Structure 1
Amino acid sequence: MTDIRAILTALLLAALMWPAAGSAQTTDDVTLDRIVAVVEDDVIMESELNYRLDQIRQQIRSRGNQPPPDSVLVPQVMERLVIERLQLQRAAGMGIRIDDIALNEAMENIARENRMSLPRFRELLVAEGIDFQRFREQIRDEMAISQLRRRQVDNRIQVSEQEIDDLIASESGAIDQDVEYRISHILIPLAEGATPADIQEARERAESVRRLALEEERSFSELAVSESGGQQALEGGDLGWRSAAQVPTVFARNVVLMREGDVSEVIRSPSGFHIVKLEGRRGGERARITQTHARHILISPTAVLSDERARERLESLRRRIAMGDAFEDLARAHSDDRGSAMRGGDLGWSDPGDLVPAFEEVINNLPPGEISEPFRTQFGWHIAEVLDRREHDSSRQLMRAQAREIIRDRKREDETELWLRRLRDESYVELRLDTRISGL
C-alpha cells in the first residue's frame, strides 16, 4: 500500500493549493464547453483541460517559480490528461474497479496521516474551496491506475539470482537503505525507431538544457516544466526522496557518486536522454527485516475454467474453511501450485521481495490467522493466510533482499516509461487544440 499512500498524500498536498473545480462556472461556461481531444472511445473537454491548467499553474507558483507560457504548458498538460485517460480505459477494460469500501478506507488513511478525522478532513477541503466529491474521484482514479501498473508492469519484472549476485559485487557500497536521495530529473524523449538524425537532435537539445541548468539562469525545476518529457515534468522534475532501491537504473550509479547540488552529465537510455540533479541526501536506519510465514491456495484459469469461475471456486473453498474444513487438506486437494500444495499450501518463511508484488501486498496487510478474500496475480486467483511474522536480523539475507528490491524498482521505472510510451503510440488520439484554449 505504500505506493498508493504516497500518491494519495501528494494528491492531497497539491489539492490544498488548488482551486475547486467549477467553483466559478456559469451557465455560459457550460454551454461553451467543447471537446479538445478524442482518446480512443472517450473525450477530454475544454473545462477539464482548463481546470488542470489552473491546478498546475498554482502548483508551480507554490514552488516559487513562474509558469511557462501556455504554448509550452498546454501541450504538456494535455499529454498528461491523455495518458491518464488511456490508463483508466485500460484499467476498466481489465475489470479493475475501486469500490466505495476501498475508497473510503483510502480517504480514512489520508485523514489519519494528516492527523484528523474524516469529517474534519472534509470540512478542511470544503473550506479551501475544493469539491470533495471530485477529490474522491481523483483518488479513485489514482488507485485504479496504481493497480493497473502493478498488473501491467510489476508482474512482468523478473529478478534472477545472478542479477542479485552481480549487483552486490558491483555496487555493494550503494546497497544501503540507510541513505535516501532527493532527485530532480529532466528527460528529452526519443520515439521508438528514432533515426540517427533524431537521436543527434535530441542529444544536442539535452546538452543545451544541461548547460542552462549549470548556468543557473533558470532553475532546474523551471527547465523541467518547459523542457522535460518525463512523468514528473509538471512537478518540476521532482522525483522526491528515494532510497537506493528506488533510484532508476539508468542513473543510479551517477546519483550515488554525486554531491548535493550536482547536475549530471547527459545520460542515454532507450527512452531518451536524461539529466539529473541531486537536491539532497539524508540518512536513516534499518537493521532488521520482517519475515512472513504464509500459506495459500491457487486456482489458475484455463481454457475450460474461466477467470470468474476460478474466483468462485476459491470463494467456495474459503467458505468451507470458515465452516471448519482444514486449510491444508483443501490446499492438497485443490491448489494448482503443486509445490506448496504438497505441504498443505505452506510457502515457508519469506523475506520482503521474495514473492510477487501483488501477493506480497495482500499478505503484508493481512493479520495472522485471517484468510484473505480471493485476489489475483499473474498466476491466477489465490486465497492466503498469514501463519506468523517475525523480525529477523541477517546481514547476508538483508543485503540480498535489498539488492532484489533495488533491481525490481529500477526495472519498474524503466518499464513504466516504456509501457506508457507504447500505450500512447498504439492508441487512437485526436487533439483538437486551437487558439481559443487558455488564451493561446
Structure 2
Amino acid sequence: MKQIFALFLLTIASAIPSLAQAQLLSPQDSGQQPVDRIIAVVEDDVILQSELNDAVAAIQQQYANQPGQLPPIDVLRRQVLDRLILMKLQLQRADDQGVRVSDSDVDQAAQSVAEQNKMTPDQLRAAVEQSGMSYAAYRQQLHDQLVVQKLHQSVVRDSVNVTESEVNNLLNSSNYKTGEVHLAHIQITIPSGASAADIQAAQTKAEQALAAVKGGMAFKAAAIRFSDAPDALDGGDLGWRRIDEIPSAFVDTISSLKPGEVSGILHGPTGFHIIQLEDQRAQSKQMVTEFHARQILVRPSELLSATQAQQKAQDLYNRIVNKHEDFSKIAKDNSNDDTTANAGGDMGWFQQNEWGTLVAQKLQDLKDGEVSQPFQSEAGWHIIQRLGTRSSDMTNQIARDQARQSIGNRKADQAYDDFLRGLRSSSYVKILAPELQDPNSTDTKASS
C-alpha cells in the first residue's frame, strides 16, 4: 500500500481536488462540528479548509510511523498550504496556455502505477479506496500531476539549449568530476525581488536549520521543519545524481564531504542551501551489447491488404529459409523500409532497443545467422536476421550524453525554479485565515 503513495502520492499535498470533490469533515472524523470555509484566494480560485485538512491528513498518514519527523502542526499546515497554492497557480497557468491531459493519459498513468506495484488496475483501485481516498479523487491527482509535467516541459523546452561546445567545456574542465552522489538538502528560498529584510530573514532561518542539525536533529526532520523547497515534506531527498549535474558552485563543497556529513550554509541564486551527502559511488566502465542485423518490412497499403501483406511476408520468409535465396537481394526488391532496403536490409550495429521492443525481443531470441518468423508491428510485417553481436565500450559516448543531459537538467531546473518564483510573486494570493499566515513572511500579497 505504501509503495503506491511513494510513487504518486508522495506529493499528495501538492495535488488539488476540484471544488466539487472537496468534502466536509464529519463530526466522527474531526471531533468538531462540520465546518468548511475559504482559507485562501489564489487568483480567481479558492482553497477550502477541507482541502487543506485532507492534504495535511495525507502527510500525517505518510509519517504515521515517524510522527516526530513532522514539524509542529501550525508549521506543517502552512507548508502544505504553500504547496496547494503553488499547485493551484501551476494548474491555472497550464489552463491559460491550453495544456490538456486526456482520460487515456490518466488511464496510462494509473496503469503504470499498478505495474510498478505489481498490481492489476482493479487491485490498485481497491488499494486506493482501502486507504480512504475515492478513486475519482486519486485520478484527479494523477491528472493534475500530468498537467504540471506538461507545463514544466513547455516552460523548459523554449528556454533550454545545450551546445556541443558546452559539452566539450564541461568534459574538459579541471573541475569535472565523475561518479554519483545521493544528496538531501534544505532550501530557504529568497523571494523574487527580495528586500534586505527578506534576505536577512531567510539567512536567519537557514542558521536556525543548521543549528538544529548540529544540535542532533535528524537532517530529514530538519528539512521537513525548515525547508521550503517542493521536496521539503519528502525530507529534502534529492536521490542519486551524477556529480556533473550539480551546480558547479556546490561541487567543491560536496566533494569535500564524507557520507553522512552536512555542509555549511551555501548561498545560491535562489536562496540559502544546506546539503547532506547521504552516500557516493564511483562511475564504472560502461559496456553495452550491440547487435548487427538486417530486416525486411512488408507494409500494408491501398494495393496490399493486411492479409496480403502477411502472406507476402510468409512467402519471402519461405524463399529465404527453405529455398535459400539471398536475404539481401530479397530485401532490396521487396522491403518497404526506406532506411534499409537499398542496403539489402542492413540495419548496421545498434543497441538492442534502438529499433523498438518487438525487434529487441526477436533479436534476443535469435542466434547469429538465424532468421525470424514474420512478426507484426504497427509498421507492418517484419522478417529479421541476426548477423552478430559484440560488446562495446560506450564509456566516452555515454559520458558525452550524460554531460549533455546534466547541462540540460541544470538549465531546466533553474529555468523552472525561476518560472515558479516569478509566478508566485506576480500572482494574487490572499490567505484569509490568520493562523495560516507566516509570521516571518514579508510577502504582502500573501497576507494582506
TM-score bracket for this pair, using the shorter chain length:
0.5 to 0.7
Encode CA deviations 1:71-123: one digit per residue, 9 max, x unaligned. Answer: 31222111110000011111112222211111111111111111111112212
Q: How far apart, CA to CA, are the structure 1 residues paired with 2:218 and 2:93?
A: 36
Corresponding position: 1:225 with 2:224 = yes
Corresponding position: 1:274 with 2:277 = no
**What residue identity is the alignment partner of 2:182?**
R
Q: Is the 8 A contact 1:248 1:411 kept in 2?
A: no
Deviation at 1:124, TM superposition (A): 2.0
Q: Give TM-score scaled by structure 2 length.
A: 0.66
**What residue identity is the alignment partner of 2:190?**
L
Point out where structure 2 has 5 or more consecutive residues left out of the alignment: 13-20, 291-299, 304-338, 340-346, 360-376, 380-389, 438-448
Corresponding position: 1:236 with 2:235 = yes
Higher relative CO (Cα under 8 Å, sequence separation at least 6) belongs to: 1
Deviation at 1:364, TM superposition (A): 9.9
Deviation at 1:142, TM superposition (A): 0.5
Residue number in structure 2 paired with 1:52 = 55
Question: SS at 1:32's partner residue?
Answer: coil
Structure number with bigger Rg: 2
Question: SS at 1:193's partner residue?
Answer: coil
Corresponding position: 1:141 with 2:140 = no
**What residue identity is the alignment partner of 1:237?**
G
Moved more, 56-65 or 75-84: 56-65
Query: 1:288/1:88 Cα in 2 relative to 1: closer, same or farther (>3 Å)?
Result: farther
Q: How far apart, CA to CA, are the structure 1 residues paired with 2:282 and 2:9?
A: 26
Q: Is the 8 A contact 1:213 1:220 kept in 2?
A: yes
Question: SS at 1:156's partner residue?
Answer: coil
Q: How far apart, CA to CA, are the structure 2 residues paired with 1:259 and 1:411?
A: 27
Paired residues for 1:294-333 under 5 Å: none
Paired residues for 1:146-295 under 5 Å: 146-170=149-173, 174-176=177-179, 179=180, 181-196=181-196, 198-216=198-216, 218-244=217-243, 246-247=245-246, 250-282=249-281, 287=286
Question: SS at 2:63's partner residue?
Answer: helix
Point out where structure 1 has 5 or more consecutive residues left out of the alignment: 1-5, 292-320, 325-342, 353-362, 372-389
Question: SS at 1:65's partner residue?
Answer: helix
Question: SS at 1:144's partner residue?
Answer: helix
Deviation at 1:404, TM superposition (A): 0.7
Q: Is the 8 A contact 2:185 2:237 kept in 1?
A: yes
**What residue identity is the alignment partner of 2:150?**
Q
**What residue identity is the alignment partner of 1:129?**
G
Residue number in structure 1 paired with 2:313 = none
Query: 1:417/1:322 Cα in 2 relative to 1: closer, same or farther (>3 Å)?
Result: farther
Q: Is the 8 A contact 1:35 1:46 kept in 2?
A: yes
Residue number in structure 2 paired with 1:356 = none
The alignment covers a number of residue pairs equal to 349
Give the fraction of aligned pairs with identical amino acids, expressed as a percent: 33
Corresponding position: 1:123 with 2:133 = no
Question: SS at 2:260's partner residue?
Answer: coil
Deviation at 1:323, TM superposition (A): 6.0
Query: 1:199/1:123 Cα in 2 relative to 1: closer, same or farther (>3 Å)?
Result: closer
Q: How far apart, CA to CA, are the structure 2 residues paired with 1:23 and 1:365?
A: 49
Residue number in structure 2 paired with 1:424 = 424
Q: How far apart, CA to CA, are the structure 2 residues paired with 1:141 and 1:30?
A: 31
**What residue identity is the alignment partner of 1:10?**
L
Question: SS at 1:264's partner residue?
Answer: coil
Corresponding position: 1:404 with 2:401 = no
Q: Is the 8 A contact 1:261 1:277 kept in 2?
A: yes
Moved more, 249-258 or 27-36: 27-36
Deviation at 1:196, TM superposition (A): 4.3
Residue number in structure 2 paired with 1:415 = 415
Q: Is the 8 A contact 1:174 1:256 kept in 2?
A: no
Question: SS at 2:230's partner residue?
Answer: coil
Encode CA deviations 1:381-401: one digit per residue, 9 max, x unaligned. Answer: xxxxxxxxx997543322211
Deviation at 1:159, TM superposition (A): 1.5
Q: How far apart, CA to CA, are the structure 1 residues paired with 2:83 and 2:166?
A: 34
Residue number in structure 2 paired with 1:34 = 37
Residue number in structure 2 paired with 1:91 = 94
Question: SS at 2:118's partner residue?
Answer: coil
Query: 1:42/1:399 Cα in 2 relative to 1: closer, same or farther (>3 Å)?
Result: same
Query: 1:261/1:434 Cα in 2 relative to 1: closer, same or farther (>3 Å)?
Result: same
Q: Give TM-score scaled by structure 1 length.
A: 0.67
Q: Is the 8 A contact 1:175 1:403 kept in 2?
A: no
Q: How far apart, CA to CA, are the structure 2 residues paired with 1:7 and 1:158?
A: 35
- Name the Cα RMSD after superposition: 4.1
Query: 1:23/1:75 Cα in 2 relative to 1: closer, same or farther (>3 Å)?
Result: closer
